[in-house]
Amino acid sequence: TYTIAEPCVDVLDKACIEECPVDCIYEGNRMLYIQPDECVDCGACEPVCPVEAIFYEDDVPDEWAEYVSANIDFFNEI
Ligand code: SF4
């Protein structure tokens, strides 16, 4: 799955939402989240993010590793 990290916080540009073919990017209070069970790993969202907040899960920088679980937890809590 792809995941959204810290650069999205308080930005929520939403260009990614327009690109996602399966509509699996959802809006939280301060950032957007990718539903990991729905993401088909197409990668369409990654290049359109103006703040480069989107990464394939294995490529998330170490300092933002917590965002992988944050994306999962967001959908477990709603
Ligand atoms: Fe949507 Fe594709 Fe991005 Fe997954 S990788 S969130 S399916 S645009």
Domain boundaries, the chain: 2-76
The residue whose CA is least distant from atom 3 of ligand 1 is: 45
| pLDDT at residue 78 is higher than 70 | no
pLDDT in tens, 21-73: 999 999 999 999 999 999 999 999 999 999 999 999 999 999 999 999 999 99
Q: Is 47 in the pocket of ligand 1 (CB under 6 A)?
A: no
- Give the architecture (CATH level 2) of 2-76: 2-Layer Sandwich (3.30)
Listed in sequence order, the residues at least 6 apart from 22 whose beta carbon sits closer than 8 Å to its beta carbon are: 38, 39, 40
Ligand 1 and 44: CB distance under 6 A: yes
pTM of structure = 0.95
Q: Confirm whether the ipTM is greater than 0.85.
A: yes
| Most informative mutation of 13, 18, 39 for ligand 1 (most atoms within 8 A of CB) | 39
